[in-house]
Amino acid sequence: MIFITDAISIDENEIQYQFIKASGPGGQNVNKVSSAVQLRFDVKHSPSLPEGLRGRFIRLAGRRVSRKGVLVIDARRFRHQEQNRQDALRRLKQLFLKAIRKPKERLRTKPTALSKERRLAGKRLQSEKKRLRRPIGSVD
């Protein structure tokens, strides 16, 4: 079990790891060892997630979630497979912690009378400036 919070935990069987060869520096080692990790987690069909959290999580993850609802996290920061696996898991937990926090609902407010007056005064000034730039013989 992977514990996100006291109330939310994910069964390790829901997460699949695929080890691939990493690109970048590393000499001969990079060509021989599959040290990069792709973590896959089926967000859409996971029984561990409450419905509200699932929607926020998919929205927050963005392009990392496929059309089928599978989250893919690529971890290739380190030269060792285990470090990359831990990094991918840490990033998954961070995504969950962001998705758990419900966004504040926006309270609609009206503009104040003073702000309306300032806006209209600015429009009057701009209008006067443009009017004064017209040729003298033009009709108002």
With a cut of 70, say whether residue 24 has pLDDT above it: no
With a cut of 90, say whether residue 130 has pLDDT above it: yes
What is the span of the domain harbouring residue 20? 2-100
Supply the pTM of this predicted model. 0.60
Greatest Cα pair distance in the chain: 84
- Total domain count, the chain: 1
Residue 9 vs residues 66, 99, 118: alpha-carbon distances, Å: 22, 14, 53
Confidence of residue 69 (pLDDT cuts 50, 70, 90): confident
Calculate mean pLDDT across residues 125-136.
93
What is the overall mean pLDDT for the chain? 80
56: domain CATH number is 3.30.160.20
In this structure, is residue 120 part of a structural domain?
no
In this structure, is residue 125 part of a structural domain?
no
Confidence of residue 52 (pLDDT cuts 50, 70, 90): confident
DSSP 62: G
